[in-house]
Amino acid sequence: MDTVTFSMTVNGRAETLTLDTRVTLLDALRETLDLTGSKKGCDHGQCGACTVLVNGRRINSCLTLAVMHEGDEITTIENFAADGELDALQAAFVAHDGFQCGYCTPGQICSAAGMLREVAEGMPSHVTVDYRASEIALTEEEIRERMSGNLCRCAAYPNIVAAIRQAAGQPA
């Protein structure tokens, strides 16, 4: 068994870990750091339940090895609420009932945060009408395309879209 000692920042806290080189980021978060918000859904990168932010970008944490994130800033769902107050995305998910069983919700919220950052940075998607426009319209089609890697087995998609639109400051 090969182990490596490496450091990363998780939810604003410096962490030094010694792990087997085969441990995924998801397993390091859940099993080593006891951050169980990110879920192991399919373990194949197909459902998005394990989505976290790495340096502000969304990734499926089941598809990447923890040791690959030496020096990275990892943000999990546990970092969204501050002082017991829900952040805008979490509050919008509650207001619009953007979850039913809740299993996918942490990944949905992390993905939505990453997606909103991508939109703010002007990154087009497959359905973006004018990729040269200075501002991307967050239509229902745009949100659905950008969130297509996050599955909800309860089919709360209309509510998730409404929650994201509210969090983005648009009419739901």
Do 58 and 95 reside in the same domain of the chain?
A: no
Do 75 and 7 reside in the same domain of the chain?
A: yes
Do 72 and 111 reside in the same domain of the chain?
A: no
Quick check: helix, strand or coil at residue 15? strand
Q: What predicted TM-score, i.e. pTM, was given to this entire model?
A: 0.95
Residue 172 in any domain: the answer is: no
pLDDT of residue 135: 85
CB neighbours of residue 171 within 10 Å:
6
Number of domains in the chain: 2
Tokens representing residue 98 in the block = 């953007």
Of 27, 49, 79, which marks where a domain is finished? 79
Q: Give CA–CA dist 79/65, Å, rounded.
A: 21
Write out residues in the chain with pLDDT < 50, as ranges. none
The residues, any chain, with a CB within 8 Å of residue 106's CB and separated by 6 or more, are: 37, 38, 39, 49, 51, 76, 77
pLDDT of residue 130: 84
Do 113 and 156 reside in the same domain of the chain?
A: yes
Q: Give CA–CA dist 11/74, Å, rounded.
A: 6
Contact of 108 with 100, CB cutoff 8 Å: no
